[in-house]
Amino acid sequence: MPKPVWKQLLTAEQYDVLWRGATERPFTGALHANKQVGTYLTAGCRLPVFHSRDKYDSGTGWPSFSDVLNRDNVVLKPDWAWGLRRTEVLSKCGEHLGHVFEDGPPPTGLRYCLNSAALVFVPEDPLEPAPAAP
């Protein structure tokens, strides 16, 4: 889908994060403290990428996961922005989700540090409401 269409469909923050690679401020995202059981989809393409069973509090202020739900929906890309070597996490349709670091908990040792604005949460219990945006 062309970016002008995404700009109409998404909030300004979602568009900036997903398509411009922006990072939301820590501790401000609606999903940072979410403890509900369910699946995290990308905010644009709606691809299932993470599950609550792999979510943990990393203390960074962003939703953090130790593993991905569906590797086919996630692309890892070297990122040298800011003069640092990092690994960017993208969806297979090109959405910027965040970064992955090698300082996570066992058994993977990985910390997928993501933007709440890049994700949509779908609770497993259909009667439980999803977290509201701040």
Contact between residue 60 and residue 26 where contact means Cβ atoms under 8 Å apart = yes
The DSSP secondary structure of 41-68, one letter per residue, reads EETTT--EEEEGGGEE--SSSS-EESS-
64 DSSP β-pair partners = 56, 113
Residues tagged active-site: 113
Contact between residue 130 and residue 40 where contact means Cβ atoms under 8 Å apart = no
Contact between residue 88 and residue 130 where contact means Cβ atoms under 8 Å apart = no
Contact between residue 99 and residue 88 where contact means Cβ atoms under 8 Å apart = yes
Written as six digits, the tokens of 4 are 């002008």
